[in-house]
C-alpha cells in the first residue's frame, strides 16, 4: 500500500523555545480540516485529538515519533526532533482499500488457519487477559510457494491488557512471518490508555519492565549497564560445516520446483540429506569471544547523540529477581533467574534514546528473552518503575 502524505512546515516565531510544543492543523487533500485525528507520541500515554477545525497541540520531552492516525486515512509519522516548536499543516490522504486479490489473496480460510500463530507471535500466550477486541478486522494472506504469511489491519487494533492495566490503540503497519527461515517481524505504532492501577497491576508492570529490552537500552543511555544488573558479552559467528552450502541449497530448491511440477515421489538420498541438514542445523555456530564488554565497545557518541554501533552479535545476560508484593510492599525475591538475550546490530547503526527506544526498532533483530516482550508485556515508553 503506497503511502503519500504531504507535510508543510510553516515556521512561526516562538518566544518560549524550551516549551517543546508542537502545534498545527490536520487537513485533507482539499484543505478541509479533519476532526478527531488521534495524535500521539508513539509507544506512550501522551496524546491528543484534533479539534473540529483540525487544530492540535502536543508537547514532547524526548526524541519520539509523532503519529497522526485516523481510520480510512493513511497514517503519518514524523520524528519530533524535526518539528519541535514549529507550527505544522499535516495533510492526510484517504487510504485505499486493501486489494483482496492481487497475487496472494487475503482469505477467510487463511485467517482461520493462522490466527492462533499470529496471536502467539504478536500478543503472546495469555489470551485470556490480553485480547484484540476487534480481531475480526484482520486480513491474512499465505504464500505457499515462499512459505510466508502476511497480516494487515485495515482498522486500528484495540488491545485490552488486563494484567498491565492498559488499553492499547495499535496501528499495525506490517506483520510478516517466513516459515522457512523461522522468522517473524511486526512493526507498528501504539498509544496507551491506563485502565487501572492496582498494586497487582503495578507488580505486573515492574516484572514486565525489569530485564526488558527497554530497561537494557535505558541502562546503556545512562551508562549504568552493570549497575542495573546486565552483563554484555561479544558473540562471534562461525560457519557451520554441517549446514548445506549454497550449491546444495540450490539443488534442493530446484528439486522442490521439479517435485511440484511433476509430482514425483522418488526423492534421492542426497536430496533427503540436504533437507534434513537444513532443518536440523543452523547456518552458523556461535561462541563467546569476549566477556563483560563495556558500553564504550558497542556504542559511539556523535553530535551529542548515542548510537549502538557494533560489528558483532551481542549476548545480554540479566540476573532477574522477580518483584513480590508482601505486606503492601514491593520487594525482590531472594533467588534470581538468569535470562539471556541476543542482539544483532551487525553492519547497522541505531540511535539510542533516553526512554529506551531506538531508531528503526523493527530492524534490530533480537533473540532469547527479548523476543518475549510481545504485546502482553509491552509498557509505555514513558513508564517509570513503580508507576
Write b or e for each residue in 26-37: b if 16 or more Cβ atoms lie within 10 A of its Cβ, otherwise e. Answer: bbeeeeeebeeb
**Same domain assignment for residues 186 and 207:** no
Written in H, E and C, the secondary structure of 212-227 is CHHHHHHHHHCCCCCC
Structural domain that includes position 264: 241-277
**Same domain assignment for residues 78 and 155:** no
- Among 169, 196, 223, the domain boundary falls at 196
Can you say whether the dihedral through the CA atoms of 126, 128, 134, 139 is positive or negative?
A: positive
pLDDT for residue 16: 35
The number of domains in the chain is 4
**Same domain assignment for residues 245 and 263:** yes
**Same domain assignment for residues 223 and 322:** yes
Asked whether residue 184 is domain-assigned, the answer is yes
**Same domain assignment for residues 256 and 338:** no
CA-based R_g, the chain, Å:
24
Q: Which of 72, 122, 62, 135 is nearest to 98 (CA)?
A: 72
Instruction: Report the CATH number that the domain containing residue 78 is assigned in CATH.
Output: 2.60.40.1120
| Per-residue pLDDT tens digits of the chain, which is 387 residues long | 333 344 433 333 333 334 478 899 999 989 999 999 999 999 999 999 999 999 999 988 767 789 999 988 889 998 887 887 778 899 998 876 544 444 577 788 899 999 999 999 999 999 999 999 999 999 999 988 888 999 999 899 999 999 999 999 999 988 999 988 788 888 899 999 999 999 999 999 999 999 999 999 999 999 999 999 999 999 998 999 999 999 998 988 888 777 766 665 678 888 899 989 988 888 888 899 999 999 999 999 998 899 999 999 999 999 999 999 998 899 999 999 999 999 998 778 999 999 999 988 878 888 899 988 789 999 999 999 988
In Å, how far are 66, 322, 353 from 319, measured between CA atoms?
A: 35, 10, 24
- Among 24, 58, 91, the domain boundary falls at 91
Asked whether residue 1 is domain-assigned, the answer is no
Asked whether residue 300 is domain-assigned, the answer is yes
pLDDT for residue 106: 77
Taking the C-alpha atoms of residue 78 and residue 94, their distance in angstroms, rounded to an integer, is 18
pLDDT for residue 15: 32
**Same domain assignment for residues 346 and 207:** yes
pLDDT for residue 100: 44
Helix, strand, or coil (residue 301): strand
Asked whether residue 249 is domain-assigned, the answer is yes
**Same domain assignment for residues 349 and 227:** yes
Other Cβ atoms within 10 Å of 238 Cβ, number: 10
Q: Which three cell numbers stand for residue 129?
A: 487477559
pLDDT for residue 180: 80
**Same domain assignment for residues 344 and 361:** yes
**Same domain assignment for residues 322 and 216:** yes
Asked whether residue 169 is domain-assigned, the answer is yes
pTM above 0.85, yes or no: no
**Same domain assignment for residues 379 and 248:** no
Stated length of the chain = 387
**Same domain assignment for residues 340 and 235:** yes
Asked whether residue 61 is domain-assigned, the answer is yes
pLDDT for residue 254: 84
pLDDT for residue 264: 58
pLDDT for residue 346: 77
Taking the C-alpha atoms of residue 29 and residue 59, their distance in angstroms, rounded to an integer, is 26
pLDDT for residue 72: 86
DSSP string, 187-251: EEEEEEEE----HHHHHHHHHHHTTSHHHHHHHHHTT-TTTTTEEEEEEEEEE-TTS--HHHHHH
**Same domain assignment for residues 186 and 129:** yes
Q: Which of 99, 379, 98 is nearest to 211 (CA)?
A: 379
Asked whether residue 76 is domain-assigned, the answer is yes
Amino acid at each position: 500500500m503506497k503511502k503519500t502524505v504531504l507535510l508543510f512546515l510553516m515556521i512561526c516565531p516562538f518566544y518560549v523555545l524550551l516549551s517543546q510544543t508542537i502545534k498545527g492543523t490536520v487537513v485533507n487533500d482539499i484543505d478541509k480540516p479533519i476532526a478527531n485525528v488521534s495524535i500521539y507520541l508513539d509507544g506512550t500515554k501522551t496524546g491528543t485529538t484534533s479539534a473540529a477545525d483540525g487544530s492540535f497541540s502536543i508537547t514532547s520531552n524526548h526524541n519520539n515519533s509523532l503519529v497522526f492516525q485516523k481510520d480510512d486515512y493513511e497514517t503519518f509519522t514524523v520524528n519530533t526532533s524535526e518539528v519541535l516548536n514549529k507550527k505544522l499543516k499535516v495533510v492526510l490522504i484517504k487510504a485505499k482499500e486493501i486489494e483482496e486479490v492481487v497475487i496472494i489473496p487475503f482469505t477467510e480460510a487463511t485467517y482461520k488457519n493462522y490466527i492462533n500463530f499470529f496471536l502467539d507471535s504478536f500478543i503472546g500466550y495469555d489470551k485470556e487477559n490480553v485480547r484484540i477486541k476487534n480481531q475480526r478486522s484482520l486480513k491474512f494472506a499465505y504464500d505457499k510457494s515462499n512459505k510466508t504469511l502476511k497480516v494487515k489491519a485495515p482498522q486500528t487494533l484495540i488491545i485490552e491488557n488486563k494484567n498491565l492495566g492498559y488499553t492499547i490503540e495499535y496501528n499495525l503497519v506490517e506483520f510478516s512471518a517466513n516459515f522457512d527461515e523461522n522468522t517473524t517481524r511486526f512493526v507498528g505504532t501504539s498509544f496507551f490508555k491506563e485502565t487501572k492501577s492496582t498494586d497487582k497491576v503495578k507488580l505486573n508492570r515492574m516484572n514486565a519492565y525489569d530485564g526488558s529490552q527497554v530497561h537494557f537500552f535505558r541502562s546503556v543511555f545512562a551508562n549504568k549497564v552493570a549497575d542495573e544488573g546486565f552483563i554484555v558479552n561479544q558473540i562471534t559467528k562461525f560457519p557451520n560445516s554441517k549446514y548445506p552450502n549454497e550449491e546444495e541449497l540450490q539443488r534442493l530448491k530446484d528439486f522442490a520446483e521439479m517435485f511440484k511440477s511433476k509430482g514425483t515421489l522418488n526423492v534421492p538420498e542426497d536430496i533427503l540429506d540436504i533437507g534434513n541438514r537444513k532443518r536440523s542445523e543452523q547456518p552458523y555456530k556461535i561462541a563467546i569471544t569476549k566477556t563483560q564488554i563495556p558500553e564504550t565497545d558497542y556504542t559511539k557518541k556523535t553530535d551529542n547523540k548515542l548510537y549502538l554501533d557494533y560489528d558483532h552479535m551481542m549476548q545480554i545476560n540479566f540476573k532477574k529477581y522477580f518483584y513480590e508484593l508482601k505486606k503492601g510492599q514491593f520487594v525482590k525475591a531472594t533467588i534470581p533467574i538468569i535470562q539471556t538475550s541476543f542482539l544483532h546490530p551487525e553492519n547497522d547503526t541505531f540511535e539510542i534514546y533516553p526512554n529506551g527506544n531506538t531508531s528503526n526498532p523493527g530492524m534490530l533483530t533480537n533473540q532469547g528473552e527479548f523476543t518475549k516482550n510481545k504485546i502482553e508485556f509491552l509498557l509505555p515508553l514513558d513508564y517509570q518503575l513503580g508507576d
